[in-house]
Amino acid sequence: MIKGGNMKKRHISFIGIIVLLVLLFFILPVESQDNGIKSLRQSSKAFASVARNVSPSVVFIQVEGSKRNSLYPKFNMPFDDEWPFGAELFRRFFGENFGETQKPRRQPNIVGQGSGFIFLTKEHLFVDRSYILTNNHVVEYAKKIKVILQDNREFEAEIIGTDPKSDVAILEIKIGNLPTLTLGDSSKLEVGEWVVAIGNPFGLSHTLTVGVVSATGRNSLGINDYEDFIQTDAAINPGNSGGPLVNLDGDVIGINTAIFSKSGGYMGIGFSIPINLANDIAQQLMTNGEVTRGHLGALVQDMSPELADSFNIKKNNGVLVAQVMDDSPASDAGIKQGDIIISFRGKPVSSTGSFRNQVALTSPKSTVPIQIIRDGKQINITVTINKLTQDIEQALSHEQPSKNLGLMVQNITPALAKKFDIESDKGVLITQVKTGSIADMANIKVGSVILQVNRINVNNTSDFDQAFKKSTKEKSVLLLIKTDKTQRYIILSWS
């Protein structure tokens, strides 16, 4: 009897466990689902809060002008059809029917549209005026600018300053004490963070879209002269241009500027100017009425895996000095061709684009520390930055004529000759070929040697530059290239 009772108790206990498991099976998913819905509600409330707080500071900009190109800007990537995405265009985005290839009808006053936002300046709020950040291409060549607030009040705006090289512009309207947006710190952005874009796509006032930061530090896109873009998948369309990209705290971390699109509409790839860069430009425009940039005088190139290996450094660690201009701050400081710049003003150097921005944003006459690697040894150098003048900019643009081809060349040094198994010191070594460029399409490889340009022998980069300059008008060049032990002629053309 006792034994049977024990078995019965165990049977009841087993049934109880089964019942408990069944209950947990149904209860836990319900509880988990409730927690998930609760989390989604919290996210929804966060976005709604951003919209409430940010929208009053976002403005709708309407522009009247006489030049369609300024109001409906459309630009190609550096090598047009040869770019990896094909023949499609990067497009600035505001206004209707932008990017059309047909010849526009003549109009006395072409109306364009874009976005902007009232921002908190260093002087804080003004009683009689407010300042608006937007893109230069939104207001370029404008004859009349009208700003519309969220409450439908309209004001005429005046351009305080523009910087086409970074695509930043400042407007002023005659009304004070308006809600302003706080500028955040774009250097702290991480890929994957939630961001919100607010603007006026297709004239639809104060539209909010949500996405994440897809990438940071995008440069060499050919959009602006100075680039360090934030890439986002937050939906942005024609009319968003100049509007804010904000984080969940409502702080501005970027100015929406361009999209990649095959149709002219949203395709998940948008670009915003980092607010740190835009704010530096804005403060100069407001203080001095112009932007003054620094000049080092060293032409640099990104480190390819082959170059990094030949110099015995980590990939993407620094930029390689390809050429030093005479009588420049770089030459005065003792920087030499073949040096690798790994730090500028105490900040790591990762790419030519970011390094160019670092130098440009350094005030002239500033003395800054630079760390370089030379012959495997780290050296600390101090350099005094000069002012970048128009003459110097023109000279710099002529120093790298091969940029149209998408390749970089360098003098053949003993170390490079050994690395790439080059038997002769004649010609110039191809050290970089940009993906999707004309050179890449022609199957030109890193490590090849250019012996002639338009049937003129070249023995160094100076010879190469001089010979190539004669091809700029024709936009075509004949190269004699040696790869391994084989030589071949290649004709390259660009538009």
Task: Specify the pLDDT at position 338.
Answer: 84
pTM: 0.68
Query: Over the stretch 148-191, which tens digit does the pLDDT of each residue have?
Result: 999 999 999 999 999 998 999 999 999 988 999 999 999 899 99
For residue 84, pLDDT over 80 is answered with no
Catalytic residues: 137, 167, 241
Q: Which domains are seen in the chain, by residue range? A: 54-99+107-291 (2.40.10.120), 294-394 (2.30.42.10), 400-493 (2.30.42.10)
Read off the pLDDT of each residue in 202-224 and give the average, rounded to a whole number. Answer: 82
pLDDT band at 399 (very low <50, low <70, confident <90, very high): very low
Query: Over the stretch 278-335, which tens digit does the pLDDT of each residue have?
Result: 999 999 998 888 888 999 988 888 887 767 777 777 666 788 887 788 889 999 999 9
Task: Specify the pLDDT at position 263.
Answer: 60
Read off the pLDDT of each residue in 416-432 and give the average, rounded to a whole number. Answer: 80
Q: What is the 3-state secondary structure (H, E, C) of the chain?
A: CHHHHHHHHHHHHHHHHHHHHHHHHHHHHHHHHHHHHHHHHHHHHHHHHHHHHHHHHEEEEEEEECCHHHHCCEECCCCHHHCCCCCCEEEECCCCCCCCCCCCCCCCCEEEEEEEEEECCCCCCCCCCEEEEECHHHHCCEEEEEEECCCCCEEEEEEEEEECCCCEEEEEECCCCCCCECECCHHHCCCCCEEEEEECHHHCCCEEEEEEEEEEEECCCCCCCCCCEEEECCCCCCCCCCCEEECCCCCEEEEEEEEEECCCCCCCCEEEEEHHHHHHHHHHHHHHCCCCCEECCEEEEECCHHHHHHCCCCCCCCEEEEEECCCCHHHHHCCCCCCEEEEECCEECCCHHHHHHHHHCCCCCCEEEEEEEECCEEEEEEEECEECCHHHHHHHHHHCHHHHCCEEEECCCHHHHHHCCCCCCCCEEEEEECCCCHHHHCCCCCCCEEEEECCEECCCHHHHHHHHHCCCCCCEEEEEEEECCEEEEEEEECC
